Amino acid sequence: MSALAEGAAAINTSLEMPDVWRRILNQTMQALQVETVALAMIDSATDDLVFHAAAGDNSGNIHRRRIPAGRGWLTR
């Protein structure tokens, strides 16, 4: 519950969406005790899943990645 409250507070602290996303992702990472988190949204024009923000150990390769509609993301 405290992570949700902190996330709500983060939304009200900045008008810049990348800053808000970064704050929420960092709080989510701490609350879930995971190494990496990412935020993806559906592109309404293509129905593709597009990652807009990521935080953590492996976040550098995630930002702006696109998963075509109807496909999964497999890593090797």
The model's pLDDT over 34-65, given as tens digits with 9 standing for 90+, comes to 999 999 999 999 999 999 999 998 888 888 89
User: Does residue 76 carry a pLDDT above 70?
Assistant: no
- Give the pLDDT of residue 13: 72
Comparison of pLDDT for 51 and 8, the residue scoring more:
51
Q: Name the band, by pLDDT with cuts 50, 70 and 90, for residue 75.
A: low
Alpha-carbon distances, residue 1 vs 27, 28, 31, 70, 75 (angstroms): 12, 11, 10, 34, 32
